[in-house]
């Protein structure tokens, strides 16, 4: 295993900037996710690291080695793709053994057997070694693809949306297994995903991309609680963040943000803010509590039950609305009910309305 570093790395396709001046350091043994919407530059970053693409500018290192100009086979990385393409005419054993069979000098048969069996044991597929790919499930095939990467014992694992072909339940189980596997192996992993919950649960740090630019690079909790900008706040989380325009009120005492949904106490002092004008409030659904209030001017427009949570769309003046999360066993509210909102000041973010950059966080 090894460290990885990108310094000032850029890649263009004609006029399209696929990656713009990326600086990123991955520590030894880290699980780093590259997260972002489609077209944000994640695969470009991974392919540059694998050596499948050449950078226009900048330097890429794996450990102490400058690999910027090295061909893929000399970088000692193993890549697992979304389409894990096993060899259909080879057994599971032969598929996993393949990278060792083509190595020169070729390891002896006993060494190959020992390595394949160790990897298969770690992945829980030791009983399947004699089967062919079509005789095992999609999840098991994905494990075989991982095994084929692991058997090489590479410096860095590169995983490109490896779970996205699996159904939702299986994906969550494989995610757990992948995390356990990483804990057991301690390998350096760079993982591409557009699925924020996958990135949140798996990673030691998440690199969030948008339009070829790194937006934030931090541990999951920090990405979630202290998003660097409005894009990150909105992209990370099961539901979209609510954004409200308004104006600050109060100076030395406690600040409030006055919006079309009413006055929202911010639980912080004026002196804590670098700027006071052109701000936008960001609040995730879980930062907003809802309670019935006879005669209030806010109304429930929509109630969506999703098992554990009840998501309520609440509308105010000018049809301004927010989505709040409630406990369905504690709150029973139907569309049309009049309500009051309670914003948790520790979970409120203020952004610059123009640039989107974070100005202040509640915690």
345 binds ligand ADP (CB under 6 A): no
What are the tokens at 218? 């931090």
133 binds ligand ADP (CB under 6 A): no
Q: Which is nearer to ligand ADP, 119 or 158 (CB)?
A: 158
Q: Which is nearer to ligand ADP, 122 or 214 (CB)?
A: 214
156, burial (CB in 10 Å: exposed 0-12, middle 13-18, buried 19+): buried
Count of residues making up the chain: 363
- Number of residues located near ligand ADP, criterion CB under 6 A: 11
Span of 12-20, 58-66, 119-127, 353-361 interacting with ligand ADP by CB under 6 A: 12-20
36 binds ligand ADP (CB under 6 A): yes
With left for phi above 0 and alpha for psi between -120 and 50, is residue 91 left, alpha or beta?
Answer: beta
Q: Of residues 2, 22, 30, 44, which one binds ligand ADP by CB under 6 A?
A: 44
Span of 34-42, 63-71, 118-126, 171-179 interacting with ligand ADP by CB under 6 A: 34-42
39 binds ligand ADP (CB under 6 A): yes
What minimum distance in Å lies between the beta carbon of 188 and ligand ADP? 20
C-alpha pair distances (Å), 273 with each of 84, 244, 361:
50, 18, 10
Instruction: Give the contact letters, 290-329, x = binds to ligand ADP (CB under 6 A), - = no.
Output: ----------------------------------------
Q: Which is nearer to ligand ADP, 84 or 209 (CB)?
A: 209
Strand order in the sheet with 279-283: 242-245, 279-283, 348-352, 358-361
Estimate to the nearest angstrom the gap between the alpha carbon of 290 and the chain centroid.
Answer: 29
What minimum distance in Å lies between the beta carbon of 20 and ligand ADP? 10
- Give me the phi and psi of 157, to 5 degrees please: -95, 135
With left for phi above 0 and alpha for psi between -120 and 50, is residue 349 left, alpha or beta?
Answer: beta
* DSSP-derived pairing of the beta strands 4-13 and 57-62: antiparallel
Q: Which is nearer to ligand ADP, 41 or 139 (CB)?
A: 41
83 binds ligand ADP (CB under 6 A): no
41 binds ligand ADP (CB under 6 A): yes
15 binds ligand ADP (CB under 6 A): no
196 binds ligand ADP (CB under 6 A): no
38 binds ligand ADP (CB under 6 A): yes
Question: Rounded to whole angstroms, how far apart are CA atoms 123 and 119?
Answer: 6
**Any long-range contacts for 126-129 (C-beta under 8 Å, 24+ apart)?**
128/92, 129/91, 129/92, 129/93, 129/96
* Residues forming the site for ligand ADP (CB under 6 A): 13, 16, 18, 36, 38-44
């Amino acid at each position: 295993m090894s460290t990885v570093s990108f310094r000032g790395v850029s890649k263009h396709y004609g006029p399209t900037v696929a990656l713009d001046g990326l600086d990123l350091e991955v520590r030894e043994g880290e699980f780093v996710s590259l997260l972002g919407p489609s077209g944000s530059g994640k695969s470009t970053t991974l392919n540059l690291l694998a050596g499948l693409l050449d950078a226009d500018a900048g330097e890429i290192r794996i450990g102490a080695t400058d690999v910027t100009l090295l061909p893929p086979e000399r970088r000692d990385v193993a890549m697992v793709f979304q389409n894990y393409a096993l060899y259909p005419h080879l057994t599971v054993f032969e598929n996993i053994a393949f990278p060792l069979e083509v190595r020169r000098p070729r390891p002896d048969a006993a060494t190959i057997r020992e390595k394949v069996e160790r990897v298969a044991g770690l992945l829980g597929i030791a009983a399947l070694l004699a089967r062919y790919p079509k005789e095992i499930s999609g999840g098991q095939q994905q494990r075989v693809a991982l095994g084929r990467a692991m058997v090489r014992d590479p410096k860095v694992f590169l995983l490109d949306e490896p779970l996205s072909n699996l159904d939702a339940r299986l994906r969550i189980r494989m995610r757990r297994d992948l995390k356990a596997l990483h804990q057991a192996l301690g390998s350096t992993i760079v993982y591409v995903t557009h699925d924020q919950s996958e990135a949140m649960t798996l990673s030691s740090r998440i690199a969030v991309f948008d339009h070829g630019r790194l937006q934030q690079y931090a541990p999951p909790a920090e990405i979630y609680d202290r998003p660097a900008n409005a894009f990150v706040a909105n992209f990370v989380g099961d539901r979209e963040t609510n954004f409200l325009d308004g104006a600050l009120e109060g100076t030395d005492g406690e600040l409030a943000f006055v919006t079309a949904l009413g006055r929202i106490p911010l639980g912080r002092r004026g002196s804590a803010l670098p700027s006071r004008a052109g701000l936008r409030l960001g609040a995730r659904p879980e930062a907003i509590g809802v309670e019935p209030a006879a005669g209030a001017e806010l109304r429930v427009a929509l109630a969506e039950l999703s098992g554990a949570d009840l998501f309520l769309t609440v509308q105010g003046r000018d049809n301004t609305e927010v989505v709040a999360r409630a406990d369905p066993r504690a709150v029973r509210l139907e569309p049309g009910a009049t309500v009051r909102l309670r914003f948790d000041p520790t979970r409120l973010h203020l952004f610059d309305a123009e640039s989107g950059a974070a100005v202040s966080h509640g915690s």
